[in-house]
Structure formats: C-alpha cells, structure tokens
Structure 1
Amino acid sequence: MMQLLAFGVNHKTAPVAVREQLTFAPDRLPSALTELVKYDGINEAAILSTCNRTELYCGYTSGKENAAIEWLRQYHHMELQSLKPCLYTHPNKSAVRHLLRVASGLDSMILGEPQILGQIKTAYQHAVEAGTIGRLLSRLFQHTFHVAKQVRTDTSIGASPISVAFSAVSLAKQIFRDLESKTALLIGAGETIELATRHLFSNHIGQIIIANRSIEKAQQLANQFNSNAISIAQIPEYLPKADIVISSTASQLPILGKGAIERALRIRKHRPIFMVDIAVPRDIEPEVGELQDVYLYNVDDLQEVIQENLQSRQAAAKQAEEIIDIQVENFMEWVHGQNATPIIRAIRKETEQLCREVLEKAQKRIANGQDPSEVLAMLSHNITNKFLHIPSRQIQILSATGDKSILEAAIKIFDIHQQD
C-alpha cells in the first residue's frame, strides 16, 4: 500500500548553517529527483528547496519510511546525529496538513506571505519534468493549489502587510491610490530597499530612481527594474521629482534635512511627498515631519502598522486553519478510496472471467439447437450462482464467529434493504 511522507528542515528547526548544507540548486534538482525515486521503496517524490526550508514529499512503499531520510543524509554527506535533531517528519494525514499549511503561508517566517505558493508550484513543475510525480503526489499538489487559493479568497490572510518594505509601499498606495503616474526615490541598496523596489515595480510605479554611495551597486539594482541610478550627491537635483521617498542606509548622520525638503516642495509647488525613513540612526531629520505637504513615517511608525496588521492576519489564520481541517479530511477520503481500487479491479476481472465462461457455454448450447429462452434462463441462473457462491460461503463462515460487523458490512456492500 502506498504511503505518504513529508519531511525536512525549516527556519524554526534548523540554523542557517544546517539549511545551507541541505539546499538543492535548481540545476541539480532533476538528477536528485531521479536518483531519489530509484532508491529502495521510493515511488514518487518532489523537493521544495528555499532559503528558509528544504522539504521532501514522497510516496513510498509501506515499511520503507526511513529510506528517503537516509537518501537525503547520504546525498548531502551529513551525519545522522547532525541531521536528526533538526528534522521533522509528517506521515500520511499529517503530511497533507503540513503541505496545505505551508502553501497557505501559515508556516512561514512572515505569516501569510504569498511567495511560498509560487515556490511550491515551481517544485511541483520540476518533479513533473523529472518524471517523479505519480498519482498520489499529483493529486496532493493539485489539491494544495486549490486550497491555498481558497484560503487567499475566503480569508484576509494576505490583505494586511507585515514587512517593513511592503508596509511602506502599501501606505504609499493609500495616500496616492494610483502609482502609475508617480516617481519614487529610494536611497540605499540593501535588502529592504530591494524589497521596496520590487513591491513598487509590481504595483506599476511610474518611475524609480535609486540613490546610493556606490553608484555601481545602485546601477546593479536599477538594472533589474528598468530604473535610474544616481549617487547620493545627486539627490538634491532629483528630489523635486520624487512623490515617494524611501530611505534605508547605514549613515550615522541624516542624509535629508528640513532645508532640502523645503526647497524641493517649492519647486514641486507644494505637491505632497510621502517619505519613509527605515534607517536607524535616521536618514531624514525628524523636523521634516513638521512641514506641510509631507507625510513622514519612521521605522517605529511602521512597526505599529505591522503589529496591527499581524493581529489581523492571526485572526485570518484561524479561519485558514478551519478551511485546512476540512480539506485534509477531503483529501484523505480520496486516499482511502484509492486503497480499494486494486480490490475493485480484481473483483471486476474475476467477474468478467466468470461471465465469459458462462456465456461461452450458453452460446454452444444455442449453436447445438437448444431453445434460446431456456439457455438465457440458465445463463441468468448460473451467473447468479457463480457470482454469489464464494461471498455467501465466506459470509456464513465469518458470521459464525459471532462478529456482527461482518453482516453489517455485507448489508452495506450489497446495499440490501432488509424487510421485517
């Protein structure tokens, strides 16, 4: 009987040093998947490998539950004592629940983040292309995509931003609504600025200008998003064009002062500027917030927004868990139904063989001149007797033990409507 297993490590169970050892580069995935399904007892497999988790989803032959874990250990040349404390395993029903929670963003570092679903879809596609997806995992992943979509549609799990960069862009959208005609000036070139740039780009911002002390680093980031790169010294020249300013540098002194913003506002004829200072120490003088037509937020302001939104997501997560509870049961009903398939197939094969034998005898009788009506009556009688002989005998033998469940099962299987 086919069994299902999900296992791996993530940001909650393993430090980055361990996660680094267990990653699978995209170009190595096809050969790794092919090698895995050749391992004793492993019939189907998919591998999810991101910066925060490495997980394997396997369909395996009963009794071979440790085979895939042993393969992972050998593949990455790790000692079991180093791997085992970080490893979690989820068999069968637990594996289904785990994948549904991961795809819905309930197991992520940032609750409700949407990127993981795309990564799961990519992992599934790699496995399909490698030919390591069978009936069980195919059904599981398709079910997962459906449930993750339902969670996004039926709850507000992803509606409230809970990262600094995403919160900054969401606030900009609230103030300006339409970003397509706006220009954003981003100061810095670190991870937060890169994420903010990515969010602005996906929201169809009109123009992006990236300023950094290293013009080369600014250009590298600008090239990814069809943007302009400038040096820190050029900021006063470009500041009047900026409707949105997001700054995150490691400078020990403010980069933007009240006087520079006042000059920019005069040139802009006092069209409002939305400013977010994510840096600590601050990049923008606090006095800038006193100016009319300036909306200035610092990192503490954003943290308040994030905490409020986190509470909203946590409430939505409870709804998501309820959806997942139902959908786990739905999938397991399908799995249990698959366990009956070989038995049903065998019953059909034997019944068809029995009917062929009885039919051949009936055809010979008709060919020998016997009355077709008599032959048909005999055919019906013989098929009924042959089909019910063994089940009837087995029911009698088994029910003799006093186990009423045998009779109850027979009544359900044959859909018998008993009469008083």
Structure 2
Amino acid sequence: MTLLALGINHRTAAVAVRERVAFTPAQLEAALAELRRLPRVHEAAVLSTCNRTELYCVTEPSGESVILDWLGQFHGLSIDELAPSAYHYLDHEAARHLMRVAVGLDSMVLGEPQILGQLKDAYQSAREANGLGGELELLFQHTFAVAKQVRTRTGIGQNPVSIAYAAVSLASRIFEDFARSRALLIGAGETIELVARHLRDAGVRDMIVANRTRERAEVLAREFNAEAISLNQIPEALVRSDIVISSTAAPLPILGKGMAERALKQRRHRPIFMVDIAVPRDIEPEVGDLGDVFLYTVDDLNEVIQENRRQRQAAAEQAESLIEHGVHVWQHERRVRSSGELIRRFRDTAAEVREHSERQALARLARGENPEDVIRMLAHQLTNRLLHRPTVAMREASGGERHDLLDAAETLLLDIPSSKKL
C-alpha cells in the first residue's frame, strides 16, 4: 500500500481555482464516501481551507491519477484545468508534507496556529465517515505529536500571526483613524472570531457580526460587545460600515456588485475597505471594480505575511529538524506494524496448510492405513505446500535478476536450524 497526499494550495493555484476545488462542510461526508468507493483507495481524509485542498489517502500503487480524476469530476473541473496546479507526495514525503502543514511551515502565514485545528477537524470528519484505517490513524497521531513538540520547543507559535491578523493589519494601514472605524464581519467561525479579537486589540470597538445563523452571531457579538444581524440585513449594515471582512463557508457570493453600489450611493461614496478571506469567495470580484471600494482577497495579503515569515524563519529551521525526526519515528513504527501484519498473514497461511494436511492424514489413519506411510505423506505434503510459493518466487527473481530478493531469501530461508540442533 502507498500513502498519498494530493492537492492544491496558495502557492500552486490562484483563489479562482482554489474556490472551485474547496469542499464545503455539507459536501465532506459525501466526498469521503465517494473517495472510499474508488478503485485502489482504502483510506481517505480531506483537508479543505481557504488556502488549500488536500486529500490524504492509502492507495494501491499509482492511485494518484484515479484520485486526481475524481477531484476534478467532483468539482466539475477538467484535468487540463486542475493538473497544472496539483501536486502529490508519496509515503515518507507525504508524511513529511502533512507534518509541515500541521505546524504551519507550508502556510501562507508561517507558523500560523489555525491550521492544526483545521487538520484535527479533517481527522475527526474522516473518522466519523469511516475513512480512517490503521495507516492514516498512525500518521495523524504522529503528526499531532510532532505539532505539539514544535509548538512547545520552538518559538514558531509566539506572537501569532494569521490570515485574520494580516487582514486587520492591512485595514489599519488604510485608515488614519482606524480605531474609530466601524467593521462589518460576515461569518461567525474561528477566523472571524480571530479577526474580531485583533480588531479589538487594535482599538476598534464598533463591530457588526452577520451570520446565516443569528444565534451564532449573537454569541460572538456578546463576547466583543458587537451588534448581531442575519445575512439578509447586510445591505443596511453595509451602508454604516467602513471595513468589511468576510469568511463564511457559503458556496455562492454573499455580497454582490449591485449591493455595494447601492451602499456607496447612500454613503455619499465614502470608501469601504473589504477583505474576502473565504474560499469560495464571499464577495463578487466585480465589487473591486467600483471606485470607492478597496477589495482584497487572501492572495493580496502576501506583503503582510512575508514580514511574518522573516521573523519566524529561525523557529522554522528548528521545526524542520523536529519534523525529520518525526518522519523517521513514523517510518520505523510503520515498518514494525507492516512486519507484524506480514508475520500474521504468513502464520495464518501456514496454519491453513497444516490444518488441511492434518485433516487428510487423520482421514487416512481412520481408514486404517499404515501410520508410517501417513506420516511420510504428511511430511512430504507439508514440505511441498510450504515451499512451493517461495520456490516459484526465487525462480522468477533469478530470471529477472532481482538479486536483492535472492539475498533476502537466503537470509530468511537457509538460516534454519538443522535436525541435529533441534
């Protein structure tokens, strides 16, 4: 079996592609079920965030083409559209990639802590959908252990900087009197909660939280002394807002060009700063064409994020070393686990051969045959049946010049105690 990591991320694909490949929470259960039904796929987990969509699978060899085809079909993309942005890793490279993702080394914001929580959610979703077997379970547990080590032994998690922080930092550069601005936050998940926290830390006190579920908006609003509204109240709130930051899991845009035009007219064209950190996008790209709107997406936050990357580079080097050790430990346990399974199967096969021969021998004894003849028959039969497959394999290895297999066979099969030593 092969461990496979396949996906796209902010480095390989623009937001226009990423939003088409993203999985909404409502799609995950069906997606995992479909993945498990694919030929060659035995285990599967899906990680989908604003910056990446990745599939972690246990497959038979060359399973990546099957999974890439499925990913395109599920989201209605052709291979020509998807393949240029896709990447994949196998076995220890896949394990290393997952560990780098978990500690934030592969994130747009180096060391950002939110990705670990998102990865744990992906793990839980896969468990609930029966997508995990022994291979992925072992990998995820090792990954979480390495992530904990990195957080506690390096400075990569200190002074956390995230997409949410980058969005607020960019907004603060636009407005001279930032603290007096009114912010409309669309969504009520972890990212928006972080945005609200960073806004409050920057002195912004006037916030509106809009969410599909009004109750969730009210919970968040109470924490930050903000106003809670439902999504259908956004047009009115937009008129009163200087800053809009949106991050929902909606499959279609929430804020369109027409809504923004009407709000600007009522605001007498006072500018609005907007950051859309959702994938798929919450704000129609055409909104950015309006003269008094400053619209940014996750891809536009790179300048803020690059400064963070420079500050965390030393901690990242420590993290890479811990990850390498984690990969070696995982490989060792995987080999131990694999050899244990191989030994079990080998013993089961030998037991089946023994039981079959034993039944035949007992039947011949019951018919009154000579016990010495029966014993000779039993020994001959056991020898032939147990050695048949190794003998065939050695002949094939010799013909194919697989000297490594022949050397292994000599070690495994010829270092057997003779009868004199028994």
- Greater RCO, CA 8 A, separation 6+: 2
Q: Does residue 227 in structure 1 map to residue 224 in structure 2?
A: yes
Deviation at 1:198, TM superposition (A): 2.8
What's 2:21 paired with?
22
- Return the alpha-carbon distance in structure 1 between the equivalents of residues 386 and 209 of structure 2: 83
Q: Does residue 189 in structure 1 map to residue 183 in structure 2?
A: yes
- Return the alpha-carbon distance in structure 2 between the equivalents of residues 133 and 27 of structure 1: 19
TM-score, normalized by length of structure 2? 0.59
User: Which segments of 5 or more consecutive residues in structure 1 lack a partner in the other structure?
Assistant: 170-184, 231-247, 251-279, 281-304
What's 1:60 paired with?
59
What's 2:38 paired with?
39
Deviation at 1:331, TM superposition (A): 2.4
Q: Is the 8 A contact 1:160 1:310 kept in 2?
A: no
- The one-letter code matched in structure 1 to 2:225 is N
- The one-letter code matched in structure 2 to 1:159 is Q
**Alpha carbons of 1:405 and 1:17: their partners in 2 closer, same or farther (altered >3 Å)?**
closer
Q: How many residues align?
A: 322
Counterpart of 2:64 in 1: which secondary structure? coil
- The one-letter code matched in structure 1 to 2:312 is R
What's 2:264 paired with?
none
**Alpha carbons of 1:407 and 1:229: their partners in 2 closer, same or farther (altered >3 Å)?**
closer
- The one-letter code matched in structure 1 to 2:86 is L
* Cα deviation digits, residues 104-158 of structure 1 (max 9, x gap): 1001111001100110111111111112222222222122111111211222211
- Return the alpha-carbon distance in structure 2 between the equivalents of residues 57 and 216 of structure 1: 35
- The one-letter code matched in structure 1 to 2:124 is Q
User: Which segments of 5 or more consecutive residues in structure 2 lack a partner in the other structure?
Assistant: 169-178, 186-190, 228-240, 244-272, 274-303, 418-422
What's 2:133 paired with?
134
- Identity, in percent, stands at 41
* Cα deviation digits, residues 50-106 of structure 1 (max 9, x gap): 111111112222243311111111111112222122111222222111111100100
- Return the alpha-carbon distance in structure 1 between the equivalents of residues 341 and 192 of structure 2: 57
* Cα deviation digits, residues 274-294 of structure 1 (max 9, x gap): xxxxxx9xxxxxxxxxxxxxx
Task: Return the index of the structure with the highest Cα Rg.
Answer: 1
**Alpha carbons of 1:102 and 1:392: their partners in 2 closer, same or farther (altered >3 Å)?**
closer
- Return the alpha-carbon distance in structure 2 between the equivalents of residues 391 and 82 of structure 1: 47
Following superposition of structure 1 onto structure 2, how do residues 174-323 of structure 1 map, counting pairs within 5 Å? 188-189=182-183, 195=194, 197-198=196-197, 211-212=205-206, 223-229=220-226, 310-323=309-322
- Return the alpha-carbon distance in structure 2 between the equivalents of residues 393 and 86 of structure 1: 47
What's 1:242 paired with?
none
What's 2:107 paired with?
108
**Alpha carbons of 1:314 and 1:71: their partners in 2 closer, same or farther (altered >3 Å)?**
same
- The one-letter code matched in structure 2 to 1:23 is A
- The one-letter code matched in structure 1 to 2:350 is T
Q: Is the 8 A contact 1:186 1:193 kept in 2?
A: no
- The one-letter code matched in structure 2 to 1:65 is E
Q: Does residue 119 in structure 1 map to residue 118 in structure 2?
A: yes
What's 1:49 paired with?
48
**CA-atom RMSD, angstroms?**
4.9
Q: Is the 8 A contact 2:112 2:157 kept in 1?
A: yes
Q: Is the 8 A contact 2:112 2:162 kept in 1?
A: no
* Cα deviation digits, residues 313-348 of structure 1 (max 9, x gap): 211111111121222233233444555556433421
**Alpha carbons of 1:209 and 1:78: their partners in 2 closer, same or farther (altered >3 Å)?**
same
Of 192-201 and 22-31, deviating more is 192-201
Counterpart of 2:223 in 1: which secondary structure? coil
Counterpart of 1:228 in 2: which secondary structure? coil
Q: Is the 8 A contact 2:109 2:163 kept in 1?
A: no
Q: Is the 8 A contact 1:160 1:313 kept in 2?
A: no
* Cα deviation digits, residues 302-323 of structure 1 (max 9, x gap): xxx9988754521111111112
Q: Is the 8 A contact 1:358 1:383 kept in 2?
A: yes
- The one-letter code matched in structure 2 to 1:189 is A
Q: Is the 8 A contact 1:162 1:310 kept in 2?
A: no
Q: Is the 8 A contact 1:398 1:406 kept in 2?
A: no
- Return the alpha-carbon distance in structure 2 between the equivalents of residues 389 and 81 of structure 1: 50
**Alpha carbons of 1:343 and 1:150: their partners in 2 closer, same or farther (altered >3 Å)?**
same
Counterpart of 1:347 in 2: which secondary structure? helix
* Cα deviation digits, residues 336-362 of structure 1 (max 9, x gap): 455555643342124324555787769
- Return the alpha-carbon distance in structure 2 between the equivalents of residues 224 and 99 of structure 1: 35
**Alpha carbons of 1:392 and 1:223: their partners in 2 closer, same or farther (altered >3 Å)?**
closer
TM-score, normalized by length of structure 1? 0.60
Q: Is the 8 A contact 1:90 1:98 kept in 2?
A: yes
What's 2:246 paired with?
none
* Cα deviation digits, residues 237-257 of structure 1 (max 9, x gap): xxxxxxxxxxx967xxxxxxx
